[in-house]
Chain A
Amino acid sequence: MKNPSKIIIIDDNPDFRFTMEIFLKRNGFETLTAEDGQNGMDMIEKERPDLILLDVMMESIYSGFDVCKSVQSNPDIKDIPIIGISGMGAELGVSPDKKGDDDYFRVDEFFEKPVDKEKLLARIKELLVEGLVRKGKAVRIHDRVYIKK
């Protein structure tokens, strides 16, 4: 059996971490959890997860925005796809900017709470493949992705 993909859940809300952990495990993923940005960052560097599920508006000093910036500026981990999650949405001016303006945060996908679990699952699967392509472990030819042996 192939190794399951490893997903890290970084959120200061223990209920959300617990729920997501159960959801992801039951869908065949391995999970890691961290309750703040600093711990999350340490774990990412040590464990090299395949995907980051990140609450961008955590109350800790080292926020989700900081995690985004740290991951994306570190060549060793910058290819890991990030899914941003927040209860704050467009009505409070929180929205990801995929163009990468410095004033905004850049994520591969953004979900507002409450998260639609089915949509999240579909996007996780797509982004895991995208992560492989970025790392050079797979190639995209037209619309198809070929995983290197």
Chain B
Amino acid sequence: MDYTGQQITSSRSGLGEEKPTDGLMIPANNSKAIDGLGFRNIIDLLPCYLSIQDRSMHILFANQNFKDDFGEGIGKLCHKVYKGSPERCEFCPVQKTFKDRKVHISEETVQLSTGEVADMIVYSSPILNASGNVAAVIEMSTNITKVKEMQKELKILGQSIAILSHDIKNILEGLHGGAYVVDEGIKDGDMELAAKGLDIVKRNITEISSMAQNILYSSKKRDLKYREVSPNEMVRDLVDLFQEKANAMDIQLKHETNHAPPLVSLDPMSIRRMLENFIWNALDACKKDKEKDFHAVVVRADLHDKFHFKFEVEDNGVGMDEETKASIFDEFYSTKGGHGTGLGLLIVDKIVKEHGGKVEVLTTPGRGTTFRTIFRIN
């Protein structure tokens, strides 16, 4: 754009003292479209928030966009209006500009008058008076919440590739190792040994299948397909599916269901994925526990109250300490060393949120864990 360097001052008396500042400029070749619009109107229409603050952080001026989203802020403290905070912001760019007369940028998290929280990039620029001192500071902010979300997604993507490669390497190790044992067994005519090797290979195939399903689930944006289903049936089917695996691990796996269950509307495919992840974790927690002689996993479907129903997966495995419990829904958090991407519970979290439900985790170290998910009936 062609700027001529034509400078303007703030129209508010006592601020600019009619002395040019290096803060605001307009293009020289105004098109007809904005003739007669007036600077005040243009400023109001700017697709960003613009305000002017004095040294005590009181707002002297705010554009319409600002007022629409933060309310009538004039005369109030900016940190109060932006954040509802009695304290000045830690990295306040406005105060820095008052100190050094320079332009400053910071990223802030603010709260709109609707209560919505937003990430902002904030620029501050000085308005100088006749003696060259900062009389006031213009603050311009843009909502970058979407950009921040994208940044987060990119970060997750990067981490996920690293973790997946780690997991794949572990499974490869299992496949290599299993195949080696099969080879050695065949070489010696020791079929028992070969069968053990084959078991290792099969286990790792199961692991990579489950992993592939989690990756597919987390990478695809899919619309939920709600259907009226019986939670009882889902729970029974899943328990049947995992029964053989549980037997092999010497863990009792059973279901407990309500006698008069309601039909509920949910996306059966994702709820199934959620329960599969819970059951995997429960079996794993039992396998890790060396204290108890008997291990059991119970999968339940039942009413939670009049308006809600719940799924529960309870195990008497190792349980979790507070720190672990607080981290389990973090991206790629895993305590399973070589055996877990940390993707499972992240997907659970996603599924539950998509259904507008909630997850509760009841756990005691050494005693076991119950994962409870609660959903509205319809």
Contact = CB atoms under 8 A, between A and B. Distances in A.
Interface string B180-214: 11001000000001001000100110000000000
Interface residues of A, number: 25
A112 B169 contact: yes
A133 B338 CA distance: 34
Interface stretch (A8-16, A44-52, A73-81, A137-145): A8-16
Contacts of A19: 177-178, 180-181, 200
B8 interface: no
A87 B165 CA distance: 9
Interface in A1-57: 12-13, 15-16, 18-20, 22-23, 26, 55, 57
A102 interface: no
Interface string B146-165: 00000000000000001101
Contacts of B165: 91
A92 B163 contact: yes
- Tell me what chain A mostly uses at the interface: helix, strand, loop, or mixed: mixed
- Tell me what chain B mostly uses at the interface: helix, strand, loop, or mixed: helix
Contacts of B174: 13, 15-16
A114 B173 contact: yes
A113 B184 contact: no
B336 interface: yes
B257 interface: no
A88 B177 contact: no
Given A12-B337, A18-B200, A59-B337, A87 B166 contact: yes
A114 B193 CA distance: 21
A136 interface: no
Nearest to A15: B200
B167 A26 contact: no
A5 to B, nearest CB: 20
B223 to A, nearest CB: 34
B338 A87 contact: yes
B180 A23 contact: yes
B74 to A, nearest CB: 51
Nearest to B163: A92
Given A13-B339, A15-B203, A26 B166 contact: no
Interface in B286-343: 288, 335-339
B50 to A, nearest CB: 43
Given A89-B166, A91-B162, A59 B335 contact: yes
Interface of B: 162-163, 165-167, 169-170, 172-178, 180-181, 184, 193, 196, 200, 203-204, 288, 335-339
16 contacts: A15-B203, A16-B173, A16-B174, A19-B177, A19-B180, A22-B193, A57-B338, A58-B337, A59-B336, A91-B162, A91-B165, A92-B163, A92-B166, A112-B169, A113-B173, A114-B175
Interface of A: 12-13, 15-16, 18-20, 22-23, 26, 55, 57-59, 86-89, 91-92, 112-115, 117
3 closest Cβ pairs, A-B complex: A19-B177, A59-B337, A113-B173
Given A13-B339, A22-B180, A55-B338, 4 more contacts: A55-B337, A86-B338, A114-B173, A115-B176
